[in-house]
C-alpha cells in the first residue's frame, strides 16, 4: 500500500486506487452485457470503450460497504435455511423407534408398565403362567415357534411364541371368529416375511391383537393403518437380541401345549 | 520507524483521526471474525448433514435390497441349517453349513447398513418394489426362488437321500432367484459398499450353484 502511494501521507488515495482495480474490470462486464443485450449497448459500450476514464469507478467505491453485506446476509440466510430444513428433515426421519412406537394410538408399552417382566427372558420348561394375554414378554421355553412368515391355522403355545418375540418377531393374533377376508388380509402381511408369525388366539377381547417384545396393540379391523405402523416400527427393533437372532429351526407344529425338551425342529 | 515521530509531532488531530478510523476497523474486524465463524459453522453443519442427506433413504434401491435380501437369505439359512444337521452326504452337509453361516453373516452386514442409514429393518414399500418390474415377481408373498410353506414342510419330512436331493433342488432354485435380485441391485445402485457386497454374494452363489448342481448329478438327481 505504502509503495503504491509514495508521495501522499493520507491513506485515502490508496483506498480509492484499490477500489479502482476491481472497477477496472468493468469494461469486461460491460462487454458481456453489450453482447447479450443490443439495447443496452449505448451505455455499456461507452463505458467499455473508455477504460481510462476514472470518474465512474470513484462512485462505485461508495456502494462497496452495502453490497457485500447484503450479499453475505442473503447467502447466509439461504444457506442457513437449506441446512435448517435438511437438519429438521433428518431429525424427524431419525427419531428413535421407541418414540415412534409411543406415538402409535392405543399401543401399550409394557417396557414402561412392567420393566421387570420385559427384562426377564430366561428359559423355563413346561407351562408358564402369563398375566398379560396374549403374552408380550417373560420367561419361555427353550424352543421358539418358527417365525419365518409362518401363518398357523390353529392356536400355538405361548411358551414358544414369547421366545419368538424375544428374537424380534411380530406375533399377529386374531379371534377365531374373525371373518375369513380379514384373516387373509392379515396373512398377506405375514406370509413370506421372516420375523413374523400369525395364529388364532382364544378369548381375545378384541378381534385382532399384535405383539412385539414388550408391546401390544389391539385393533378391530385388519384395514387399520396402525397395524402396518406397529410392524414397521417394532419388527426386529423391539428385539432384545438383535437382527440376527434366528426365526428358523423353531417349532412348526400348532397346539397350545408347550413342547419343551422336544428336539428342534419338531415335525 | 519514522511513523512514531510524525504521530508525536501532531498529537491532537492524528489521535482523533486514528481513533475514529480504529473503531471502524475494529468493527470491521469483529464483523469479519463473526463472518468467518459463521462460515465455519455453516460448513461444519453442512459437512455433518451431507452424509445424512445423501445416504440411501427409506424407499431407496439399497434399503429395499437390504431388507428383501435379508428375508431371502433367512430362508437359505433355514434350509442350510437343516442340511447341516440332517443331510446324509458329507458334501451336502458341509455345503449346508457353509451357506447357512455365510448368508447369516451377510444378513448382519445388510442389517448394519440399514441401522447406519437410520432406517428400520421393515420398509413401507411392498417386497421387491425397489427392483424394476420386481413387484410382479412376488408370488404369495414369496420372492424369486423362495420355497413355499408346503415345500418347506416337505423338506422337513424328507429323510436320507431323498432329503439330500430335495435340499439340493430347492437351494439351486433359491440361489437362481437370489442372483436375479443381486443383478437388480448391481444394475441400479452405485453405493460402493452395497455394489461390492452384492458382487461378492453373486460370486459365492454362482460357485455354490456349480457345486450344488454337481452334487445333485453325483447323487443321481
Q: What is the pLDDT of residues A142-160, one digit of tens each?
A: 999 999 999 999 999 999 9
Asked whether A155 and A255 are in contact (CB, 8 A), the reply is yes
Q: How far is CA B180 from CA A191, A201, B104, B115, in A?
A: 21, 39, 19, 25
Distance CA B131, CA B60 (A): 10
The per-residue pLDDT for range A84-131, each reduced to its tens digit, is 877 776 666 668 999 999 999 999 999 999 988 888 678 988 899 999
DSSP-derived letter for residue A40 is: T
d(CA B142, CA A151): 13
B111-141 burial string, b = 16+ CB within 10 Å, else e? bebbeebbbbbbbebebbebbeebeebbeeb
Spell out which residues of chain B touch residue A149, defining contact as CB-CB under 8 Å: 71, 141
What pLDDT band is residue B25 in, cutting at 50, 70 and 90? confident
Share of chain B above pLDDT 90, in %: 75
Residues of chain B contacting A151 with CB distance shorter than 8 Å: 149
CA diameter of chain A: 107
Domain boundaries, chain A: 71-96, 107-234
Q: Which of B33-42, B77-86, B161-170 has the lowest mean pLDDT?
A: B33-42
Q: How confident is the model at residue A71 (pLDDT cuts 50, 70, 90)?
A: confident
Query: Which chain A residue's Cα is nearest to B139?
Result: A192
Residue with cell 500500500: A1
Q: What is the mean pLDDT of chain A?
A: 80
How far B86 CA sits from the closest chain A CA (Å)? Answer: 11
A6 vs A145, higher pLDDT: A145
- The SS3 of residue A171 is strand
Architecture, CATH, for domain B61-219: Up-down Bundle (1.20)
Q: What angle do CA A143, A146, A152 make, to 5 degrees?
A: 120
Where are the domains positioned within chain B?
61-219
pLDDT digits (tens, 9 = 90+) for A235-258: 999 988 889 999 999 999 999 999
ipTM topping 0.85:
no
Say if domain A107-234 classifies as CATH 1.25.10: no
Nearest Cβ partner for A193 among B52, B71, B124: B71
**Helix or strand (DSSP H, E) at B112:** helix B90-116
What is the maximum span of chain B, computed from C-alpha positions, in angstroms? 113
Residues near A134 by beta carbon (within 8 Å), at least 6 away in sequence:
A158, A161, A171, A173, A201, A204, A209, A211, A216
Q: How confident is the model at residue A45 (pLDDT cuts 50, 70, 90)?
A: very low
CA distance A267 to chain B (A): 7
B52 CB-contact burial (10 Å; exposed 0-12 / middle 13-18 / buried 19+)? middle
pLDDT over 70 at B105, yes or no: yes
Residues of A in contact with B49 (CB under 8 A): 83, 86-87, 90
Q: pTM, whole model, 2 decimals?
A: 0.75
Greater confidence (A33 vs A85) lies with A85
Amino acid at each position: 500500500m505504502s509503495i503504491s502511494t509514495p508521495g501522499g501521507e493520507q491513506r485515502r488515495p490508496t483506498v480509492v486506487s484499490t477500489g479502482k482495480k476491481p472497477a477496472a474490470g468493468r469494461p469486461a462486464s460491460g462487454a458481456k452485457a453489450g453482447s447479450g443485450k443490443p439495447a443496452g449497448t449505448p451505455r455499456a459500450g461507452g463505458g467499455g470503450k473508455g477504460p481510462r476514464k476514472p470518474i465512474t469507478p470513484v462512485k462505485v467505491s461508495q456502494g462497496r460497504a452495502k453490497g457485500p453485506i447484503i450479499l453475505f446476509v442473503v447467502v447466509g440466510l439461504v444457506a442457513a435455511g437449506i441446512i435448517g430444513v435438511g437438519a429438521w428433515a433428518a431429525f424427524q426421519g431419525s427419531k428413535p423407534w421407541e418414540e415412534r412406537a409411543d406415538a402409535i394410538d392405543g399401543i401399550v408399552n409394557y417396557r414402561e408398565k412392567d420393566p421387570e417382566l420385559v427384562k426377564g427372558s430366561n428359559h423355563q420348561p413346561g407351562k408358564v403362567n402369563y398375566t398379560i394375554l396374549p403374552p408380550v414378554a417373560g420367561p419361555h421355553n427353550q424352543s421358539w415357534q418358527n417365525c419365518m412368515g409362518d401363518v398357523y391355522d390353529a392356536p400355538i403355545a405361548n411358551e414358544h411364541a414369547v421366545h419368538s418375540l424375544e428374537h424380534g418377531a411380530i406375533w399377529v393374533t386374531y379371534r377365531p371368529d374373525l371373518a375369513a377376508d380379514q384373516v387373509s388380509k392379515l396373512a398377506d402381511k405375514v406370509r413370506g416375511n421372516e420375523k413374523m408369525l400369525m395364529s388364532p388366539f382364544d378369548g381375545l377381547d378384541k378381534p385382532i391383537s399384535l405383539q412385539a417384545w414388550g408391546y401390544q396393540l389391539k385393533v378391530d379391523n385388519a384395514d387399520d393403518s396402525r397395524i402396518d405402523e406397529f410392524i414397521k416400527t417394532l419388527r426386529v427393533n423391539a428385539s432384545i437380541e438383535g437382527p440376527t437372532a434366528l426365526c428358523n429351526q423353531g417349532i412348526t407344529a400348532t397346539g397350545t401345549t408347550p413342547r419343551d425338551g422336544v428336539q428342534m425342529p419338531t415335525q | 520507524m519514522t511513523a512514531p515521530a510524525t504521530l508525536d509531532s501532531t498529537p491532537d488531530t492524528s489521535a482523533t483521526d486514528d481513533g475514529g478510523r480504529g473503531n471502524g476497523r475494529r468493527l470491521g474486524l469483529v464483523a469479519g471474525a463473526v463472518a468467518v465463524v459463521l462460515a465455519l459453522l455453516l460448513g461444519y453443519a453442512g459437512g455433518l448433514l451431507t452424509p445424512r442427506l445423501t445416504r440411501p433413504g427409506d424407499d431407496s434401491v439399497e434399503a429395499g435390497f437390504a431388507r428383501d435380501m435379508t428375508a431371502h437369505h433367512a430362508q437359505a439359512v433355514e434350509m442350510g441349517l437343516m442340511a447341516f444337521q440332517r443331510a446324509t452326504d458329507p458334501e451336502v452337509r458341509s455345503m449346508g453349513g457353509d451357506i447357512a453361516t455365510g448368508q447369516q453373516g451377510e444378513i448382519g452386514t445388510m442389517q448394519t447398513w440399514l441401522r447406519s442409514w437410520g432406517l428400520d429393518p421393515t420398509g413401507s414399500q411392498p417386497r421387491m418394489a425397489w427392483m424394476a418390474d420386481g413387484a410382479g415377481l412376488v408370488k404369495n408373498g414369496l420372492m424369486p426362488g423362495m420355497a413355499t410353506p408346503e415345500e418347506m414342510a416337505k423338506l422337513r419330512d424328507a429323510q436320507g437321500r431323498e432329503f439330500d436331493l430335495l435340499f439340493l433342488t430347492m437351494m439351486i432354485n433359491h440361489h437362481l432367484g437370489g442372483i436375479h435380485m443381486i443383478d437388480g441391485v448391481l444394475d441400479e445402485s452405485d453405493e460402493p459398499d452395497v455394489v461390492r457386497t452384492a458382487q461378492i454374494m453373486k460370486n459365492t452363489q454362482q460357485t455354490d450353484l456349480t457345486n450344488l448342481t454337481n452334487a445333485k448329478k453325483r447323487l443321481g438327481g
